Structure 1
Amino acid sequence: MKICSLSSGSSGNCIFAGSEHVSLLFDAGISGKKTEEGLNAIGYTGSDLDGIFVTHEHLDHIKGLGVLARRHGIPIYATKGTLEYIESHKSCGKIPEGLYHEIKADCPVTIGDMTIEPFRISHDAAEPVGYHLSSEGRTAAIATDMGTYTDYTIRHLQNLDVLLLEANHDVNMLEAGSYPYYLKLRILSDKGHLSNEASGKLLSQVLHDNMRHIILGHLSDENNYPHLAYQTVCTEVTEGDNPYHANDFPIHVARRDTVGELLEI
C-alpha cells in the first residue's frame, strides 16, 4: 500500500492512496491543476486514478473534484447526503452520468485489490465519513474533520499501519485569534475540528507496536503551526496513559503547499 498527502490543511485537502494495481484520491480540495502537479511529483497522472472518495462536501475537499472527474472520467464515491448536497448546490458543475457512486458508512467497497470502508465522523456536513483502507494485509485510515471522537471512531482506527489524523488547531491560538466568535464556536464544537491536544489523546488510544507512520493533517492556516501541532501531539502521546513515547513512531506533518513523502508500506 502507498499513501501520500498532496495537500492537507484548511485551504485544501487531497490524499493519494493506492496499491500495486489501484490508484485512488481521497478528496480533491485543491484545483485540478495542482492535483495533477501533485500526482506528477509522485509518479502518477490523473488518468491513472480509479476513483475519488469524498469525505464531505465542504469546498476544501471538493474544489477540483468536477474538473478531474470530467477530464479523466473518474468515478466519484460519496455518501447519499454528500452527493445530494453536491448535486443540489451544483458545487462541482455538471458531472457526466454514471460517475457518481453512493456509498454507506460501515459498508466496505472493493476496487481491485483495495477495500475501502467508510466510517461516520462528527462534523457539520451533510453525511461526512472518514475512510479505513486495506490491501494485501496492510491498513491505513484517513480521519480528519472531526469535532469529537467516540469508541466507534477508535474501533475504526485500531491496528493500522498508517494513520492520517487531524490536528487542526491550537485552542489558545484560536480563542485569541481574529476569527469571529461564531466561527470559533463552530470549530470548537463537537461538529467542528480536532485540536492538537485532542488529536494527541486520540492517537494515544490507537497506537500499537506495529504502527508504521502517523501523519498529522488538516492544520489550520491561522490557528496552528506545524511545529506546534507536532510538539503538542508528541507531548500528549509521551505523557498519556499508554506504554509509548512519541519518538517510538515516525510522525509526519502534512503541509498545504508541499507534496508529502510517498509512504510505501
Structure 2
Amino acid sequence: MRLCSIASGSSGNCIYIGDSRTHLLVDTGISKKRIEEGLCRVGVKGEEIAGILVTHEHSDHIQGLGVFSRRYEVPIYATRGTIEGIRRCKSLGTIPEDLFCEIREEESFTIGSLEIYPFPISHDAREPVGYRAGSAGKSVAVATDLGTYDEKTVQYLSGLDAVVLEANHDTHMLEVGPYPYHLKQRVLGERGHLSNEVSGRLLCDILHRDLKQVVLGHLSKENNYEELAYETVKLEVTMGENPYKGDEIPLMVAKRDEISPTIEV
C-alpha cells in the first residue's frame, strides 16, 4: 500500500491512499489543480481515483470536492451526517446525487482491492469519522480532527503499517495567541483538535515494532510549527510508558503546501 499527504493543515487537507489497483483520496480540501498536481507526483491520474473518503464537512476538508468529483465523476463516501453537511455547503455547487455513497461508522466496506473501515472521532461536525484502509495484509489510517481519544480509538489504530496522526497545536501558543476566547475553547475542547502532547500520548498507545511511518498532520498555521510538533511528539514517546525512544520512531511532519514523500508499506 501507499500513502501520501498532498496537503495537510488547518487551511486544507487531502491525503492519497492506495495500492497498485485502487486509488483513493481522503478529503479534498484544496483546489482541483493542487489535487491533480499531487496525484501526478504519486503517478496517478484524476480519472483513476476510485473514490473520495470524506471525514467531515468542514471547508478545509471539502472545498475542492464539488469541482473534482464532477470533473472525474468520482463516488463520494461519507456518513449520512457528513453528506447532509456537504449538501448545505452552497460554495461546492450541485453535486450529482448518484455520486454520494452513504456509509456507517464501524461498518467496513470495499472499494476495489481496498477494505475501508470508518471509525468515529470526537469533533464538532455532524457525523465525523477517520478511516483505516487495508490491502494484502497491510493497513494505513488517517486520524485527524479529534479533540480527544479513548481505548476504542487505540483499537481502531492498532497494528497499522503507517498512520497520519493529528498534532494540531501547541497548547501554550494557542492560549497566548491571537484566536478569540471562544475559538481557543473550541480547539482545546473534547470536540476540537489534538495538541502535540496528546498526539504523542496517543502515538505511545499505538506504537509497535512494525509501524513503518508516522506522519504528523493537520498542524495549525497560527498555533504550531513543524519543529515544535516533531520534537514534542518525540519527547512524549521517550518519556512515555513504552519500550521506544523518540529517535527510534520513523516520524515526519506533513506540510500544508507541499506534497510529502510517498510512503510504501
**TM bracket (short chain):** over 0.9
Q: Which amino acid aligns with 2:134?
A: S
2-structure distance, mates of 1:89, 1:47: 24
d(CA) in 2 for partners of 1:125 and 1:131? Answer: 16
Q: How far apart are 1:145 and its partner, in Å?
A: 0.1
Q: Deviations over 1:11-34 (max 9, x none)?
A: 000000001100000000001111
The equivalent residue for 1:58 is 58
**Counterpart amino acid of 1:25?**
L
Letter of the structure 2 residue corresponding to residue 2 of structure 1? R
Identical pairs, percent? 54
Residue pairs, 1:76-225, within 5 angstroms:
76-225=76-225
Name structure 1 gaps, 5 residues minimum: none
| Cα deviation 1:111-163 (Å, max 9, x = unaligned) | 11100100000000000000111101001111000000011101001011001
Q: Which amino acid aligns with 1:12?
A: G
TM-fit CA distance, 1:91:
4.6
Q: Distance in 1 between matches of 2:109 and 2:164?
A: 20
What one-letter code is carried by the residue in structure 2 that aligns with 1:135? S
Report deviation, 1:93.
1.2
Q: Counterpart amino acid of 1:108?
A: S
Distance 2:65 2:106 in 1: 24
1:246 corresponds to: 246
- Using structure 1 for the length normalisation, give the TM-score: 0.99
Q: How far apart are the structure 2 equivalents of 1:238 and 1:25?
A: 33
Distance 2:28 2:87 in 1: 16
Q: Which stretch shifts more, 112-121 or 36-45?
A: 36-45
CA displacement at 1:38 relative to structure 2:
1.1
User: Following the alignment from structure 1 to structure 2, what is the Cα–Cα distance between the partners of residues 35 and 85?
Assistant: 22
* CA distance in 2: counterparts of 1:239 and 1:10, whole angstroms: 28
Q: Mean Cα displacement is larger for which, 34-43 or 191-200? A: 34-43
1:172 is paired with a residue whose SS is helix
**What count of residue pairs does the alignment treat as equivalent?**
265
CA displacement 1:53-107 (0-9 Å, x = unmatched): 0000000000100100000000000000000111133352111231000000010
Q: Deviations over 1:34-53 (max 9, x none)?
A: 11111112211211100000
Give the unaligned 5+ runs of structure 2: none
Q: Which deviates more, 86-95 or 140-149?
A: 86-95
Q: Deviations over 1:200-257 (max 9, x none)?
A: 0000011001110000000000100100000000000011011111222210100001
Q: How far apart are the structure 2 equivalents of 1:46 and 1:188?
A: 37
Q: Give the TM-score taking structure 2 as reference length.
A: 0.99
